[in-house]
């Protein structure tokens, strides 16, 4: 039997935007017995503690996880994978191990190698900002956001229920998805948009070399479509390299659509171009952002 959330000691490894925001919500709502934060940089540890985001903060991983009922990894994807191997033998039997990584296949595969006494649940809150670090953290980040949960075959119903309780407690909407399905979907709605925004920004920057006035006329359309290109490069490298197959498939899919638009415009086929653009407009209108 898992403890109820209110009786749990929770250790969050990684105090950037996602991890620190979770700690703030847990503390502000008094949702659990204890909130611990683990960060690599001493400055982050001190900032988290003196901001009241945690009950205990440390840059010693083993101290931070000792006796924790729930351990949540909120670092870049490949760091999560390496950390799982390190902490597995040191966690108390029955502990729930979660993550907040943006890809799930490789992480869940690593979770499968955790000691059998532990309960793993992959996770990915679908929220965030292009800014990173403790300074970007905020209460309420997860409110209204979809929080994907990817249990393993060995995950008990009680463990999944506790993970669901945590997501609900901070205002998120839990959604259970198999890891590979998650990765295929987020390649389309998150990873591809980052690459498209990066390519767009690079193309405009080349225009700016010849005519810097392009930055003077750039306005809302460019701002909105290029926003995610400002995201942390290392974080997205981890995402792309651990979801290569799905991302490459989405790039090829996107190239087909962009190529169709290119060909119709080159042929000055206004009627067909209007039809494609109208279809896209209708598809976008059907989807209503939840946040």
The per-residue pLDDT of the chain, averaged, comes to 95
Same domain assignment for residues 172 and 147: yes
Q: Quick one: average pLDDT of 4-21?
A: 97
> Are 62 and 36 within 8 A, CB to CB?
no
Q: What CATH number is attached to the domain comprising 240?
A: 1.10.3660.10
Same domain assignment for residues 102 and 70: yes
Q: Quick one: average pLDDT of 191-215?
A: 96
Question: How many folded domains does the chain comprise?
Answer: 2
pLDDT at 217: 95
**pLDDT at 131 exceeding the cut of 90:** no
Same domain assignment for residues 103 and 159: yes
Please indicate, yes or no, whether the overall pTM of this predicted structure exceeds 0.85: yes
Same domain assignment for residues 105 and 189: no
Same domain assignment for residues 125 and 172: yes
**pLDDT at 130 exceeding the cut of 60:** yes
Q: Quick one: average pLDDT of 7-33?
A: 97
For the beta carbon of residue 196, count every other beta carbon within 10 angstroms: 18
Decide if 86 is inside a domain.
yes
**pLDDT at 138 exceeding the cut of 70:** yes
Same domain assignment for residues 225 and 138: no
Domain coverage including residue 214:
182-286
**pLDDT at 225 exceeding the cut of 90:** yes
Residues in contact with 225: Cβ distance below 8 Å, sequence separation at least 6, in sequence order: 196, 197, 200
For the beta carbon of residue 232, count every other beta carbon within 10 angstroms: 15
pLDDT band at 291 (very low <50, low <70, confident <90, very high): low
Lowest mean pLDDT among 114-123, 150-159, 230-239: 230-239
Q: DSSP 3-state assignment of 213?
A: coil
Instruction: Give the integer Cα–Cα distance in Å for 45 and 258.
Output: 46
Decide if 267 is inside a domain.
yes
Same domain assignment for residues 113 and 211: no
Decide if 1 is inside a domain.
no
pLDDT at 288: 73
pLDDT in tens, 60-103: 999 999 999 999 999 999 999 999 999 999 999 999 999 999 99
Q: What CATH number is attached to the domain comprising 50?
A: 3.40.50.720
Same domain assignment for residues 62 and 135: yes
Last residue of a domain, which of 159, 177, 195?
177
């Amino acid at each position: 039997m898992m403890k109820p959330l209110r009786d749990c000691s929770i250790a969050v490894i990684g105090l950037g935007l996602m991890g620190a925001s979770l700690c703030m919500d847990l503390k502000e709502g008094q949702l659990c017995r204890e909130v611990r934060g683990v960060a690599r940089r001493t400055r982050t540890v001190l900032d988290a503690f003196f901001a009241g985001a945690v009950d205990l903060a440390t840059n010693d991983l083993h101290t931070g996880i000792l006796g924790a009922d729930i351990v949540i990894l909120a670092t870049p994807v490949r760091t999560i994978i390496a950390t799982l191997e390190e902490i597995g033998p040191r966690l108390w039997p029955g502990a729930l191990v979660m993550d907040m990584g943006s890809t799930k296949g490789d992480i869940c595969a690593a979770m499968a190698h955790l000691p059998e006494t532990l309960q793993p649940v992959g996770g990915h809150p679908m929220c965030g900002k292009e800014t990173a670090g403790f300074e970007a953290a905020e209460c309420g980040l997860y409110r209204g956001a979809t929080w994907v949960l990817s249990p393993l075959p060995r995950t008990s119903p009680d463990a999944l229920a506790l993970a669901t309780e945590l997501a609900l407690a901070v205002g998120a909407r839990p959604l259970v998805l198999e890891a590979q399905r998650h990765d295929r979907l987020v390649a389309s709605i998150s990873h591809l948009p980052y690459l498209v925004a990066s390519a767009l920004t690079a193309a405009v920057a080349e225009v700016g070399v010849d005519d810097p006035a392009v930055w003077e006329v750039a306005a809302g359309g460019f701002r909105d479509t290029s926003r995610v290109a400002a995201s942390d490069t290392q974080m997205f490298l981890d995402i792309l390299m651990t979801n290569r197959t799905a991302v490459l498939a989405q790039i090829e899919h996107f190239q087909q659509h962009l190529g169709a638009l290119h060909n119709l415009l080159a042929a000055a086929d206004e009627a067909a171009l209007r039809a494609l653009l109208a279809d896209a407009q209708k598809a976008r209108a059907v989807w209503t952002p939840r946040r």
